[in-house]
Chains A and B, each alone.
Chain A
Amino acid sequence: MQTASQLAREARAVRPVTEPPIVRAALTLLAIAFLAFFLMVPLAAVFAQALEKGIGAYLAAIREPDAWAAMRLTLLTAAIAVPVNVVFGLVAAWTIAKFEFRGKNLLATLIDLPFAVSPVIAGVVFVLLFGRRGFLGPWLMAHDVKIIFAVPGVVLATLFVTFPFVARELIPLMQASGTDDEEAARSLGASGWQIFSRVTLPAAKWGLLYGVILCNARAMGEFGAVSVVSGHIRGLTNTLPLHVEILYNEYNFQAAFAVASLLSFLAFGTLIAKGWIEWRSRTPESARHEMR
């Protein structure tokens, strides 16, 4: 027969080594307080300020023609930047993950380069190339092509800053799955396209979707780079984030926050989609981690 104290000792021995309860509580509170101050309060402020003058003023700010034009340009930019980066990301990942070649590490580093470049500098380089006093400026002017302070500039700057997103999600995933399946498919007589679409792509689909979500969030939300090249022409070259800036600088705070709340919904959508993908794509390995 075991005594109560023996049982208690055994229970203690099985319990994992951890901090005293008071430390755990203090650390948890500290973590939540930090996140509350820096994440939750700002988010709440967006909606509080947006609805400050009631739902009518909120809807009016969103329905305003300039806001609509900004929304259209934001959607157009993302509709160009995301598919282009998906094609590039798939091709780049196929190259880097499935072949061993000279200069591979260099190529992978160069693909990540836009992450290291400040958004403002990303805008500057396009102004240097295509601006009125840029390298190609006189030629463009002579042929009546406008890139800077026009929609093409906004699209180019967005393409630059969103360049690595899809590739960077796909490369590690496609590297981890190796080349055995592809080689087996080849030996069974599959063509290159068949291998890619039936073997490689299905194995990488969650990574692809993840990259698309992040790329889209950045494409729609980019501010610095787009701000340099857009020229802030209302109704023409304003994206939603730039529209927020203009309204804010005109002290039209309520309207600025109303438009900002739309972009916050975009952020919620992104986070929810991200969580869903992480949950769907969880491998048995990581699920075991979760159980522990």
Chain B
Amino acid sequence: MRWLLKRQTVLPGFGLSFGFTLFYLCLIVLLPLSALLLKTLTQGWLPFWNAITAPRVLASYRLSFGASLAAAALNGLFGLVVAWVLVRYRFPGRRLVGSLVDLPFALPTAVAGIALTAIYAPNGWLGRPLGTLGIKVAFEPLGVVVALTFIGLPFVVRTLEPVIEALDPEVEEASASLGASRWQTFARVILPALLPAWLTGLALAFARALGEYGSVVFISGNMPLKTEIAPLVIMTKLEQYDYAGATAIAVVMLSASFVLLWIINVLQSWSARRGARI
């Protein structure tokens, strides 16, 4: 395999380690994923089209994409505030709060799902007061947004933190000494510097929300056409042994994920270039 090398090296083991990496990647990831492609190719175009455009399926895309977008927007707004506060301000309990941000990565999604449902159910801690205000959360599309916000919470905070840390205070001082107000400095100096990382965080949160299942199924109530997300429709079809239908929707969702992955890669390289310039 040494012909693959662009540069000669004295280090041994390239052939073996490259071969093993490729073999294991194919075995666990690429081969199983290709089953999806194979299944799609063997089922004909018309059933595929009918499966992905059924009204119930279209409604699930709308909910999945809409709720993921809303959750990413919420995380974008509050994530910026949280990251800013954690990096720039000092207050008691800052470290504890900072480490808690990673909770959605560490807590199994099923636990998050039942906990959020218990809180936002009509008789829950927050569900009851919100209910008297006429706001229903659990078993409504809003509940899906709440669960997806929880799941995506760390992404924006964690991508912004290092960038805020690396901001040069002298730039802000220069802006202030030239007579800019704090708000002008923020809007015209700080925000543009944060933009690539911020968009990366948003896209990561959106991508994660799009595929999420565990935390949503409990709080959404899973009513067809109303609170059913696309991954749940896949699950339901599979339980009815409708492999072809499940595959078709999976292919649509997977394509969306790949487009997002590509966008995230572009954003990250933009972010890295911006970082190198600063």
Q: Which residues of B contact A88 (CB under 8 A)?
A: 20-21, 24
Q: Which residues of A contact B243 (CB under 8 A)?
A: 127-128, 131, 133-134
Q: A95-B17, A101-B5, A127-B238 are in contact. Are A214 and B110 (CB under 8 A)?
A: no
Q: Which residues of B contact A110 (CB under 8 A)?
A: 25, 29-30
Cβ of B116 within 8 Å of any chain A Cβ, yes or no, is yes
A94 touches B13 (CB 8 A): yes
A45 touches B125 (CB 8 A): yes
B111 touches A264 (CB 8 A): yes
A:89-107 near B, CB below 8 Å: 91-92, 94-96, 98-103, 107
B:193-251 near A, CB below 8 Å: 207, 210-214, 218, 231-232, 234-235, 238, 241, 243, 246-247, 250
Q: Which residues of A contact B38 (CB under 8 A)?
A: 135
Residue B114 contacts which of A124, A160, A214, A244 (CB distance < 8 angstroms)? A244
B32 touches A42 (CB 8 A): no
Q: Which residues of B contact A191 (CB under 8 A)?
A: 12
Instruction: Give the number of residues in A that approach B within 8 Å (Cβ atoms).
Output: 103
Cβ of A203 within 8 Å of any chain B Cβ, yes or no, is no
B:239-278 near A, CB below 8 Å: 241, 243, 246-247, 250, 253-254, 257-258, 260-261, 265
B:38-94 near A, CB below 8 Å: 38-39, 78, 81-82, 84-86, 88-89, 91
B107 touches A267 (CB 8 A): yes
* Minimum distance in angstroms from A7 CB to a CB of chain B: 20
Q: Which residues of B contact A240 (CB under 8 A)?
A: 108
Cβ of A207 within 8 Å of any chain B Cβ, yes or no, is no
Q: Which residues of A contact B138 (CB under 8 A)?
A: none
Cβ of B106 within 8 Å of any chain A Cβ, yes or no, is yes
Q: Which residues of B contact A131 (CB under 8 A)?
A: 243
Q: Which residues of A contact B97 (CB under 8 A)?
A: 31-32, 35
Instruction: Give the number of residues in B that approach A within 8 Å (Cβ atoms).
Output: 96
Name which residue of chain B comes closest to A110, CB basis: B25
Interface locus among A58-66, A138-146, A268-276: A268-276
Give 19 A-B pairs besides A45-B125, A118-B231, A118-B253 with Cβ atoms closer than 8 angstroms: A16-B169, A31-B78, A35-B82, A39-B101, A42-B112, A88-B21, A99-B14, A114-B29, A119-B231, A127-B238, A128-B35, A128-B247, A134-B35, A134-B243, A160-B29, A163-B28, A224-B214, A248-B114, A274-B99
Q: Which of B's residues lie within 8 Å of A, judged by CB?
A: 4-7, 9-14, 17-18, 20-22, 24-25, 28-33, 35-36, 38-39, 78, 81-82, 84-86, 88-89, 91, 95, 97, 99-112, 114-116, 118-119, 124-126, 146, 149-150, 153, 165, 169, 172-173, 175-176, 182, 185, 207, 210-214, 218, 231-232, 234-235, 238, 241, 243, 246-247, 250, 253-254, 257-258, 260-261, 265
The 12 sampled A-B contact pairs (Cβ below 8 Å) are: A17-B175, A46-B111, A91-B21, A95-B14, A95-B18, A95-B21, A109-B265, A129-B35, A134-B243, A182-B11, A221-B106, A274-B99
